Amino acid sequence: MPSRKIAIVSVYDKTGLLDLAKGLNQQNVRILASGGTAKLIRESGFPVEDVSAITNAPEMLAGRVKTLHPAVHAGILARDLASDEKDLAEQNINKVDYVICNLYPFKDTVAKVNVTIPEAVEEIDIGGVTLIRAAAKNHSRVTILSDPNDYAEFLKELDAGEITEASRKRYALKAFEHTADYDTAISDFFRKRYAGEGKQYIGLRYGANPHQKPAAAFVSGGDLPFKVLCGSPGYINLLDALNAWPLVRELKRALGLPAAASFKHVSPAGAAIGIPLTDEEKKVYFVNDIEGIDSSPLAQAYARARGADRMSSFGDMIALSDKVDVPTASIISKEVSDGVIAPSYEPAALEILKKKKGGKYLVLQIEPYWDPSKVETRSVYGITLQQHRNDARIAPDIFETVITPKDAGPLPVDALRDLTVATLAVKYTQSNSVCYASRGQVIGLGAGQQSRIHCTRLAGDKADNWWLRFHPRVLGIKWKKGTKRPDKSNAIDLLVSGELPKFGPEREAFEAVFEEVPQAFSEEERSEWLGKLDNVAVSSDAFFPFIDNVFRASRSGAKYIAAPGGSQNDSAVFATAEKLGITFVEQNIRLFHH
């Protein structure tokens, strides 16, 4: 067998090709090339042979078949094994040492306006992909160059006498990435045309903002796990729905009751399980007129989830763990909401929802037993990030490590329930996050703050507002006839938050919704009423770095706190909790969510 090295060159991008040919010839490398590559090298005066010199077969089918031949691929795939040497000798085939190849510009072609399928098909490279993949597979012996930017370094090593193993590995990785990216572009193009809208691929109205078009949702294998029963989803709708659904599914699994979540901007405004509502709660949550709510735990769950923070829930994406019934749909029909995701719908409930927003209300049906891949991948600013999906199990039995008080017995059932609700909520809340829970529901949540104390304060302020809505003064409000639910929510929020305007147009707008304008709360009244809030469970997605968090939680009735340890101030945090009569539970799992 000859000792002269062989290179096969077949490139669409001719950048640096002539410098490469010159360097290969200086090292006495035999160059075999195809089509336009051979033509350019030959016209530039460098020695080159057509691939047909070893295949003994002409290019066929208008150039679509050039390098697809055993003489080419056996030469590339042969290893330094006696059995391979024997096969090559019997067929009079020489080993190939270097493959230089890049592919037809499929991406550029399909980026053109109104590109046709035949035009796209013409740019699907077959021989080139096969050359690259074969050489990359055998990179322990063969050097594969798919990026013209690597030619100079390759020639430098070739001139030194050897292509290093490290370089061959690096070039092989680039080659695999090149073909993978190429295949992804092809599958993306045909998915949009062949997959069937709503099956494997669905077009979205736009991305996070109206100018971000086009936008789509798809899976690379099988079918999408949801169906669109009504409306047209947007990018943020799906971000909310696909974070809210696992939250309610996990709540149902952990606590055995129907669960609901109200999501806004990829964080829950509220989440709850289906516990019967008192007459006061029905009034506070604006559901005292919902027929059948007493017999629908799902409706009770959504009433609590929506009622936790009505201001934040305005225009929410709803997730429901169970088949949607008429009482639940009746609540949704009265609220300003963007959409709902649930495993199924009663026919009558679906008809109610389809009438909302003039027939454009988004209704998604999720496959309840679908489990996503264990690996999550996203692209940010052109960089791909990957991680194991956060499948940490949250349930009442994880809250066993009581730090303080040291002589505490088992936690009460209600405390375990509320710690589970709060901890699952922060699992699906943009970090940093802190959640207050009571009565099987979120009552205050601080999301996405850079400082943990700001999360704790924000969540505590919301919990205070939630509790003040149960004050007799609020329950006794006399509304003007025809006042809409959002206007009621806004007025109540101004009243209970202490942000009540004293004069001017804002004060006039506030007073305009009442038959009798309620009196503002004095500081003494607020303090006296908030002092009655008790048995609140608080969960944090990471450790409390300072004792100020414990003091703030205590002011909003915290009786139980669950958080990971790991702070240098853990001992001070635990001591402060004990001093304030708070049971501190270490739950051992950090739950950042981004």
Q: In terms of Cα–Cα distance, which of 174, 186, 175 is closest to 107?
A: 186
For range 383-411, the mean pLDDT: 91
For the segment 437-490, what is each residue's pLDDT rounded down to a tens digit?
999 999 999 999 999 999 999 999 999 999 999 999 999 999 999 999 999 999
Burial (CB count within 10 angstroms: exposed 0-12, middle 13-18, buried 19+), residue 61: exposed
For the segment 154-205, what is each residue's pLDDT rounded down to a tens digit?
999 999 988 999 999 999 999 999 999 999 889 888 888 887 666 888 889 9
CA-to-CA dists, residue 149 to 132, 153, 172, angstroms: 16, 8, 14
Q: Is 141 in a helix, a strand, or coil?
A: coil
Question: Mean pLDDT in the chain?
Answer: 93
Give the confidence band of 48 by pLDDT, cuts at 50, 70, 90: very high
pLDDT computed for residue 197 by the predictor? 65
Cβ-based neighbours of 336, under 8 Å, separated by 6 or more? 314, 315, 485, 486
How far is Cα 101 from Cα 280, in angstroms, rounded to an integer?
73
470: which 2 tokens?
């149960």
For the segment 279-297, what is each residue's pLDDT rounded down to a tens digit?
999 999 999 999 999 999 9
Phi, psi of 212 (to 5 degrees): -95, 85
For range 217-246, the mean pLDDT: 92
For the segment 49-69, what is each residue's pLDDT rounded down to a tens digit?
998 888 888 777 777 777 788
Tell me whether strands 226-230 and 362-366 are parallel, antiparallel or unpaired: antiparallel
CA-to-CA dists, residue 73 to 29, 55, 171, angstroms: 18, 10, 19
pLDDT computed for residue 292 by the predictor? 97
Sign of the CA dihedral with 115 first, then 116, 117, and 119 last: negative
pLDDT exceeds 60 at position 152: yes
How far is Cα 310 from Cα 490, in angstroms, rounded to an integer?
9
pLDDT exceeds 80 at position 497: yes
Give the confidence band of 1 by pLDDT, cuts at 50, 70, 90: very low
> Of residues 1 and 144, which shows the higher confidence score?
144
How far is Cα 400 from Cα 410, in angstroms, rounded to an integer?
8
Q: Do the beta carbons of residue 252 and residue 322 sit within 8 Å?
A: yes
Q: What is the enclosing helix (H) or strand (E) of 572?
A: helix 570-579
| Residues belonging to the active site | 137, 265
Beta-ladder partners of 516:
478
For the segment 181-193, what is each residue's pLDDT rounded down to a tens digit?
999 889 888 888 8
Sign of the CA dihedral with 565 first, then 309, 397, and 319 last: negative
**What domains, with CATH codes, occur in the chain?**
6-193 (3.40.50.1380), 225-366 (3.40.140.20), 375-471+530-586 (3.40.140.20), 479-520 (no CATH)
Share of the chain above pLDDT 70, in %: 99
